[in-house]
Structure 1
C-alpha cells in the first residue's frame, strides 16, 4: 500500500512538472516573440533615422522633385472670382493657391494708415506645360474704389520654358498716391497675361504678404546717387559644393564665394544671400560645357534676383550651344531705404536689408540637345561695401526680422565670407562645419537608439 501511495504521488509530481515545463516553454516563446518585435522596431527606427540623416536621401526616396517646393507652413487659400468674396491675406504669412487660365484671382488686405504692405505672387506652371515668351503673371493692389496702388507684370521672356516666376505689388503710404494712404480694405488681383498660345492648364501659386513699418524719422526723399556702378571682376578661387533649394523657403544660404552644383534641364535652384544696409551684390552663373549634339538653345540659362519680400529685382539669360556659358546681373546700388524713390524698377527693388534670393533655371529644351543628365553650375557671388545702420523703423515688420540680417547668420559677419578677403575658402569652412555637426548628430542618434534597444530588451526579459 505504501508502494502504491508513493507511486501515485510520484505520478502527480511528474504531471505537475510537465505542466510547469509547458508553461515555461510557452513563456519563453512569448518572450522570444516580444524580444524579436522589440529588436525589429528598434532596427526599423534605426534605419529610418539613419536614412533621414543622409543628405538628399528624402529627395531620392520621393523620386523626381517637382518644379517648386512650397513653404512647409504655407496655408491653403482659394482666390475668389470677385472682390466681394475675397479671402484675407495676413502680412507675415505664406499661402498656397492656384491660378486658372483666363480668370482673375482676388484676395483681400486689411491695412492700417502707416505701414507699407507688399504681396509677392509666385506662379508655378506644371513641368512639361506649354508657355510662350509673352506668357506671365500680373499682380495688382487696388483700393476699395478700384484704383491701382501699384501693379507689375513678369513674363517668361526669351527663356520661355515653364519655370517658377514671381512678381510683386505694394500699398505704399505716399503723398504720390493719396488714394492709397488711408486705413481700410485693399484688394490683391492676380492674373495671367499673354495666354493665347499657352496650354489652358491651372498654375500653382504661392503668395507671400509682408508689412513694413513707418520710419521714426523721414530724411531724404530722393534716391542716392554717386554709387559705384562698374561691374567688378568676377570672384575667383576654389569652388565649394552647394546644392540649391527648390523654393524660397528651402533656399540654400551662401555668402561671398564660388559655389557649384549639378543642374538638370528643367530644374530651378534657389540660393539665399543675406545683405545688410549699404552692401552691394554682384553675381554670375556659369554653365559647364557638354559633349552633346550641336545646336543652340535660346535663353537656356536664366539668373534672377528677388528681394526680401520675394519681389522681382532683375534677371539675365543666355543661350547654350554645348560650350561653357556665363550670365551676369547688371550692377545694382547699395541696399538703401531711399532706393524706393529711384526711377529704374530694379533699383527700387534693393530698398530693404535682409535675405536676397538668387534663382537659377536651366531650360528643359536643353535635354533635347544634350541629354537629361546634369550640367555643372558655377555661381560666383561677390558682396562689397561697408555695412551701415538701418533707417530706424518705428515698429516691427511682419514677419519679424524680414528687413534685417540675423546676427547668427553664418554669412552675416564682416569677418566671415562677406569680408574683404572672403572667398570660397570661407564658405568651405562653413560647409565643413555643417557637415561635421550633421555627422555628430547622426552618430549620436545611432548610439541613443542602440541604448534604447538595450533597455527595452532588458525590461522585456525582466518582465518574465
Structure 2
C-alpha cells in the first residue's frame, strides 16, 4: 500500500509552516490509508440498509479444482483422474468429452454441477445430460437433470456411472472410456455460459457379490414429528462448503434466487426424512409458483429427488419423498430415487428460493425451517474389498454433523480460516484508519 512518504519532507521556510506541512502530510497519509482500506472492504463498510441490494453469494466452487477444457471430440479428450475435482465452462447447446482410463477393480462415478449465472431464464426441460460411454459410444450409465417447471435457473447436479459386475453385459473391459456432458437449451433460454464443477470418484467392489433383489416391503411411512429445539444453521453456497446437519429442527434465512446447501450423514440401513417450511410474510399475498425447490443428492452428487411448493405469504411446506433405507442392493432398481440411495455417506440437501419472490415480496430473506430426521439402526457395510472412501459414515462425520462444520472445515480446508482472518484484519485497519483520521483532524484544527 502506497503512503506517499516522499511528499511529507516539510521544506517550509519557518517553524509554523513546517508544522502545518507535516500535519497536512500526516492527514493525507491517513486519508490514503483509510481510502485504500475502505476500497478493499467496501462490503464490510456498507451501511446496514445497503445489504438489501447486495448481490447474492456466488456458488462456492472447490478451491482445489483444476481447470480443464472439455473437448468437442472424444479423440481430443483430456483425462479426469480418480479423486480429482475440475472446473470447466459449458456453452449453450455445448457437448464436452473427458477421458477416463478405467480398470476392472472399481466402480466409477463422474458428477457435474452446472452453475448458470443468476437471473437467467429457462424453458421447460432445459438442463443437461451426463453419461459415461465406452469407445463405441455405448452408454454405461447416464443421468438427465433439468429445471423442471421452474422458469428460473439454479445450480443442477447429476452423475453418470460405470459399474463392474458379472451380471452386467457391457462396459466391463479395462480401457478408455469417456465422460460426456451435453447441455440442452430452448432457443428462448438465456444463452449465458454455465460453469461446471466435475468430480471423479471410485467405489471398491465387494469381496463377494450377493443377491440384488430388493425386499418388497420397507418402512415408507413418515416418522412422527421431532420434538426438538429449533437451532440456527445457515446453509453453505455449494457442495464444497455445505453445512453439516444431524436430526433436528434447523432455522436459516434464504433470499430470492439463492441456493443453500446442507449435508447429512446417512449410514447403511438408515433413512433420511427432510421437510422444508417457508415462514409467512406480511409483505403481500400474491401466489408464486414453484417458490421453493427442495432437492437431494447422494454422496457421489447424483440426483435423488426434487420437490417444489408454491408461496402466497402464508407458511408453505414441502418434503422429500420417503426413500428406501440405504442399501447396496438399491442400485438394482430402475427408479432414480431408490437407485440413488446406494451407499452410505454424506447426503446433500439443497433449497432454492424462486427469484420471483423479490418482485412480489421484496428482496428480503425469508425464514426457512428444515426438519431433518435420520431413522433406522446402523447396519454393517456390504463388504467392500478396499477403503470405502467417501462411501461410509465415520465418527468424525457424526461429530461434524453435531457441530455444524462445513465440508471445507471438516476436510481441513484453510480457506475459511484465511477469509476470517482477513476480515478481522480489515476491520482492524478500518478502525485504526478512522482513529488516525479523527486525531489528525483535531491536530490540524488546533
Normalized against structure 1, the TM-score is what? 0.75
Q: Give deviations 1:174-218, integer Å, cap 9, x for gaps.
A: 345422001001011101124332122211111111111111111
Q: Secondary structure at the match of 2:117?
A: coil
Could you tell me which residue of structure 1 aligns to residue 348 of structure 2? 357
User: Would you say 1:316 and 2:304 are equivalent positions?
Assistant: no
Quote how far apart the aligned CAs of 1:65 are: 4.2
Could you tell me which residue of structure 1 aligns to residue 391 of structure 2? 403
Q: How does 1:360-371 map to 2 (within 5 A)?
A: 360-371=351-362
Runs of 4+ with >4 A deviation: none
Q: Give deviations 1:156-177, integer Å, cap 9, x for gaps.
A: 0123311101111111113454
Could you tell me which residue of structure 1 aligns to residue 211 of structure 2? 220
> Does structure 2 retain, via aligned residues, the 8 Å contact 1:274–1:411?
no
Deviates more, 1:210-219 or 1:174-183: 174-183
Could you tell me which residue of structure 1 aligns to residue 182 of structure 2? 191
> Does structure 2 retain, via aligned residues, the 8 Å contact 1:270–1:358?
yes
Quote how far apart the aligned CAs of 1:412 are: 7.7
Q: Secondary structure at the match of 2:75?
A: helix
Pick the aligned partner of 1:303 from 278, 284, 294. Answer: 294
> Does structure 2 retain, via aligned residues, the 8 Å contact 1:78–1:97?
yes
Normalized against structure 2, the TM-score is what? 0.78
Quote how far apart the aligned CAs of 1:221 are: 1.9
Give the CA RMSD over aligned residues.
Answer: 3.4
Could you tell me which residue of structure 2 aligns to residue 234 of structure 1? 225
Quote how far apart the aligned CAs of 1:67 are: 4.0
> Does structure 1 retain, via aligned residues, the 8 Å contact 2:92–2:184?
no
Pair 1:110–1:224, CA change in 2 (3 A): farther
> Does structure 1 retain, via aligned residues, the 8 Å contact 2:244–2:400?
no
CA distance in structure 1 between the aligned counterparts of 2:185 and 2:63, rounded to whole angstroms: 31
Q: Secondary structure at the match of 1:179?
A: coil
> Does structure 1 retain, via aligned residues, the 8 Å contact 2:93–2:185?
no
> Does structure 2 retain, via aligned residues, the 8 Å contact 1:224–1:338?
no
Q: Secondary structure at the match of 2:395?
A: coil
CA distance in structure 1 between the aligned counterparts of 2:370 and 2:317, rounded to whole angstroms: 10
CA distance in structure 2 between the aligned counterparts of 1:341 and 1:147, rounded to whole angstroms: 20
> Does structure 2 retain, via aligned residues, the 8 Å contact 1:406–1:412?
no
Q: Give deviations 1:60-117, integer Å, cap 9, x for gaps.
A: 8xx6344411011111111111101111111211111111112201111110013110
User: Would you say 1:74 and 2:62 are equivalent positions?
Assistant: no
CA distance in structure 2 between the aligned counterparts of 1:181 and 1:293, rounded to whole angstroms: 58
Could you tell me which residue of structure 2 aligns to residue 154 of structure 1? 145
Pick the aligned partner of 1:274 from 265, 279, 287. Answer: 265
Pair 1:85–1:317, CA change in 2 (3 A): same
User: Would you say 1:85 and 2:73 are equivalent positions?
Assistant: no
CA distance in structure 2 between the aligned counterparts of 1:411 and 1:331, rounded to whole angstroms: 25
Could you tell me which residue of structure 2 aligns to residue 108 of structure 1? 99
Q: Give deviations 1:247-294, integer Å, cap 9, x for gaps.
A: 001000000000001100000000010111111100000000111233
Pick the aligned partner of 1:372 from 363, 387, 409. Answer: 363
Aligned residues: 380
| Structure index of larger Rg | 1
CA distance in structure 2 between the aligned counterparts of 1:221 and 1:278, rounded to whole angstroms: 15
Unpaired runs of 5+ residues, structure 1, are 1-35, 55-59, 418-425, 428-437, 450-464
User: Would you say 1:142 and 2:130 are equivalent positions?
Assistant: no
> Does structure 2 retain, via aligned residues, the 8 Å contact 1:89–1:109?
yes
> Does structure 2 retain, via aligned residues, the 8 Å contact 1:140–1:148?
yes
Unpaired runs of 5+ residues, structure 2, are 1-25, 45-50, 405-416, 429-446
Pair 1:82–1:162, CA change in 2 (3 A): same
Pair 1:208–1:201, CA change in 2 (3 A): same
CA distance in structure 2 between the aligned counterparts of 1:236 and 1:137, rounded to whole angstroms: 40
